[in-house]
Copies of this chain bind each other. A is one copy, B any other.
Amino acid sequence: MISRVLASDLPRHVGAPVRIAGWVHRRRQLKSLTFVIVRDRSGLAQVVARKPAEHAADLPEETVIEVRGVVTANPQAPGGVELTEPVIAPLGEPAAPPPFDLYRPKPTATLPTILDHAPVALRHPRLRARFAITAAGVAGFRAALAERGFTEIHTPKIVGSATESGANVFGIDYFGRRAYLAQSPQFFKQAMVGVFERVYEVGPVFRAEPHDTARHLAQYTSLDAELGFIADHRDVMALVRHTVAGMVGAVAERASTAVSLVEAALPEVPAEIPAIHFAEAQELLARHTGRDPRGEPDLAPEHERWLSAWARREEGSEFLFVTGYPMAKRPFYTHPEPARPAYSNSFDLLFRGMELVTGGQRLHRHSDYLAALAARGEDPAAYRDYLEVFAHGMPPHGGFALGLERWTARLLELANIRQATLFPRDLHRLHP
């Protein structure tokens, strides 16, 4: 059997007999000609049947076929070649019609239809492209960190206590005991700084998020990193810059076809991403927007949008670090700002109007943890697993987390995070 040639490789075989295989993307029957566009993982190939004997009778779109034929130059055809003198053989049953036409340049279905029928809908080249871009971004994340000596880890998603992360946890029946789905690998990645100094994890996290918004999911993929021997949160910010630049670079390099297909505008990552302190950001907002946010401990979504637009306008950057968030709204393990301890050595990275990354320096002294918990009126006994490691020598450290689906959504300027998720899970959706 001659080996299969991919659609994108056909131009290298002009004049030769080949075998291709894929899905019937589109079939058009003219008076004496049949055009069959075959879709495979590399792209599209045009097959032209001129004689009745060459016409396969029953080839609805999405039917899987293989075609033997001769590669013939045709400047009008996609890629400049087409398959002539075809012998078409189905590799399965004739396909049922998809939930919407997959061959049209843009998907015509609503988001609920796409999500309900995701296993088929995702075959649409423009929908599929998003996830080729996602995969390239993750590869860039790993490569950027591997280059800096990070080790990949895999940590438990079932945890015995809900205390680390607070509310909105999913409960599990764990062999008759109560357990929870992990909301983040925070505890584990900090502990692993004691082992490898520099670690990362790509894995699912779970939030029993009761709000039905365009930017929350019950499960998402968290890209987490943590490193020891930092001076403060600025070392973590430098790592975030390096990593995000690596992700954008990997998308440009490994997913260029997908990027062109969805007409994505990839951002430039400045050599140094502009940063603004939370207090300064609030002053800016008070001066330039209708409402004075001072006294509020966090930024509202509309404030993130305003600051992001400001950075684009004033600094020419689609990325903006906001640093020094008030301790009041940050988790107890956050390191305070030494000179102004009501603020923290933490940051968010805003990208195109939304928080993409959260990170910062963590406490590293056991006594500081005990004091932080006491100040919040919490019982250290509930954090026994978490605290043990800090009694045994931990370096100054910090890290960050980046939500993968949100990254793709902002990169491709998609209105809803579900558009950047293969099979989303939310308040209402548990299928497919």
Contacts and interface: CB of A to CB of B under 8 A. Distances in A.
Contacts of A91: 229, 364, 395-396
B117 A388 contact: yes
A188 B423 contact: yes
Interface in A142-158: 142, 146, 149, 151-158
Contacts of A159: 430
Contacts of A73: none
Interface stretch (A48-56, A191-199, A278-286, A307-315): A191-199
Contacts of A195: 119, 122-123, 128, 131
B154 A221 contact: yes
Nearest to A146: B139
Given A120-B194, A392-B62, A422-B155, A430 B174 contact: yes
Contacts of A364: 64, 91-92
Nearest to A119: B191
Q: How many copies does the complex hold?
A: 2
Interface stretch (A28-36, A78-86, A165-173): A165-173
Interface string A95-126: 11010000000000000000001111011000
Nearest to A198: B41
A416 B165 CA distance: 31
Given A173-B170, A194-B120, A388-B119, A365 B157 contact: no
A172 B170 contact: yes
A66 to B, nearest CB: 8
Interface stretch (A175-183, A298-306, A352-360): A175-183
A430 B160 contact: yes
A421 to B, nearest CB: 9
B4 A219 contact: no
Given A41-B149, A93-B365, A194 B394 contact: no
B425 A158 contact: yes
Given A135-B152, A158-B425, A120 B41 contact: no
A171 B431 CA distance: 16
Contact of A40 (B120, B151, B197): B197
Given A152-B135, A204-B204, A430 B218 contact: no
Nearest to A91: B395
A367 B93 contact: yes
A152 B136 CA distance: 9
A427 interface: yes
Contacts of A92: 364-365, 393-396
B393 A62 contact: yes
B391 A96 contact: yes
A182 B347 CA distance: 34
B135 A153 contact: yes
Nearest to A90: B393
Given A41-B198, A95-B393, 19 more contacts: A41-B197, A64-B393, A119-B192, A119-B195, A119-B388, A122-B192, A122-B195, A123-B194, A132-B196, A154-B221, A155-B422, A158-B218, A159-B430, A170-B173, A172-B172, A174-B218, A175-B427, A191-B432, A203-B203
Interface of A: 4, 21, 23-24, 40-41, 62-64, 91-93, 95-96, 98, 117-120, 122-123, 128, 131-132, 134-135, 138-139, 142, 146, 149, 151-160, 170-175, 177, 179, 181, 188, 191-192, 194-198, 202-204, 206, 208, 210, 218-219, 221, 229, 364-367, 385, 388-389, 391-396, 404, 422-423, 425, 427, 430-432
